[in-house]
Structure 1
Amino acid sequence: MKVAVFCGSSHGNDPKFAQCAREFGEYLASQGVDLVFGGGNVGLMGEVADAVLAGGRQVFGVIPESLRDRELAHQGLTELKVVGGMHERKALMADRADAFVALPGGPGTMDELFEAWTWAQLGYHDKPCALYNVFGYYDHLLAFIENMAGSGFLRSEHQRMLVVEDNPAAMLRALQNYQPPVRKWS
């Protein structure tokens, strides 16, 4: 299995975020799971990649040329693909991954997860999309998603397709056991 992880290119303001990224990467590696990620050596991205590599698993990075040129590319990966821009990056990551997980992060993390979730909702793929809700990081977002559903902008079956867990073992089990709902426009 290859899991795409979307997460912060910074460490956040609390060391617990870096620790959770390392622990998530360590767990993936211990379970024979490979990583697909944004290719950076900074922030939580670098932490999770280093942990998976240290665990002996493969790590595939996809980075836009402009970010590579700023010396943000991780140099120790199994494979690093340099692409022209963010759209190409997301498409290649989606093609390579079997599942998508958002660890704590900012707008880029949300962009990547919401695009993967939208694609799943529209039936472009049947891969699970997940929020790793450590320390309640995504609680406010989950309340907003509940409001979307309650306001009639998100079907309940598509709300439920977003996996939410707060520990690595439960997350991996949920990803492995995921069953997609009926496609939105079928």
Structure 2
Amino acid sequence: MKIAVFCSANEHIDPDFFSLTDEFGKWMAQNHHDLIFGGTNQGLMNCIAKAMHQGGGRVIGVVPSLVEKGGRMSDYIDVHYPTDNLSDRKDLMINQCDIVVALPGGVGSLDEIFSVAASNSIGYHSKKVILYNMKGFWNALIALMDDLDSKGMIRGNWHNMIEVANNIDELTQLIQQES
């Protein structure tokens, strides 16, 4: 499978997020999945690319020109797709992947998660997002989604578009169900 991973490009975050991301990248490589990611050499993005690359997995980097010009492109990319901007990057990643996993991330990751979910909700595709809820990172978002649902703001069951994995075993099981 081609797994798109949305995640933080920040370095100064909980160190446990790095070790859990490394573990996931190694699992992806061992199970012959391809990684599609945003292509930066920072934070969890570079961490998962490095784990995949070192494990013999194929790393597909979808890299905006601004990232390349700024010298922030990962050294672990096997296949490089340059893009003009973040919107193009997001569209290409979504179109190329089979499933999306969201590791801890910020505004960019939220944008990407909801782009996948919104386009799924109106029938553009049936791809799911799995929130890897490391150390409860996504708990506030899960509560928000439940609140929106209770107020009738989400058509259908949001869990049909966004699933939650609280540990690596749950995550790998959800991925295997989709393959």
TM range (shorter): over 0.9
Correspondences of 1:98-137 after superposition (within 5 Å): 98-137=98-137
Gaps (5+ residues) in structure 2? none
Residue 23 of structure 1 corresponds to 23
Secondary structure at 1:177 match in 2: helix
- Please state how far the C-alpha of 1:119 moved relative to its aligned partner: 1.0
The percent identity for this pair of structures is: 34
- Please state how far the C-alpha of 1:30 moved relative to its aligned partner: 1.4
Q: Distance in 1 between matches of 2:95 and 2:62?
A: 11
Residue 157 of structure 1 corresponds to 157
Deviates more, 1:14-23 or 1:1-10: 14-23
- Please state how far the C-alpha of 1:55 moved relative to its aligned partner: 0.9
- Please state how far the C-alpha of 1:178 moved relative to its aligned partner: 4.3
RMSD: 1.5
- Is contact 2:132–2:171 with CA below 8 Å preserved after alignment? yes
Secondary structure at 2:157 match in 1: helix
Q: Distance in 2 between matches of 1:93 and 1:65?
A: 15
Secondary structure at 2:130 match in 1: strand
Residue 90 of structure 1 corresponds to 90
Q: TM-score, normalised by structure 1?
A: 0.91
Question: Is 1:138 aligned to 2:138, yes or no?
Answer: yes
Residue 182 of structure 1 corresponds to none
- Is contact 2:145–2:158 with CA below 8 Å preserved after alignment? no
Q: Distance in 2 between matches of 1:51 and 1:166?
A: 20
Deviations, residues 124-175 of structure 1 (Å, cap 9, x unaligned)? 1111211000100001110000001001101342344311002233213213
Q: Distance in 2 between matches of 1:12 and 1:155?
A: 37
Question: Is 1:49 aligned to 2:49, yes or no?
Answer: yes
Secondary structure at 1:29 match in 2: helix
Deviates more, 1:165-174 or 1:108-117: 165-174
Question: Is 1:36 aligned to 2:41, yes or no?
Answer: no
Q: Distance in 2 between matches of 1:65 and 1:137?
A: 30
Q: Which amino acid counterpart does residue 50 of structure 1 have in structure 2?
A: K
- Is contact 2:127–2:161 with CA below 8 Å preserved after alignment? no
- Is contact 2:63–2:81 with CA below 8 Å preserved after alignment? yes
Question: Is 1:175 aligned to 2:146, yes or no?
Answer: no
Residue 64 of structure 2 corresponds to 64
Secondary structure at 2:4 match in 1: strand
Deviations, residues 108-129 of structure 1 (Å, cap 9, x unaligned)? 1111111011111111111121
Secondary structure at 1:124 match in 2: coil
- Please state how far the C-alpha of 1:2 moved relative to its aligned partner: 0.7
Name the count of aligned residue pairs: 179
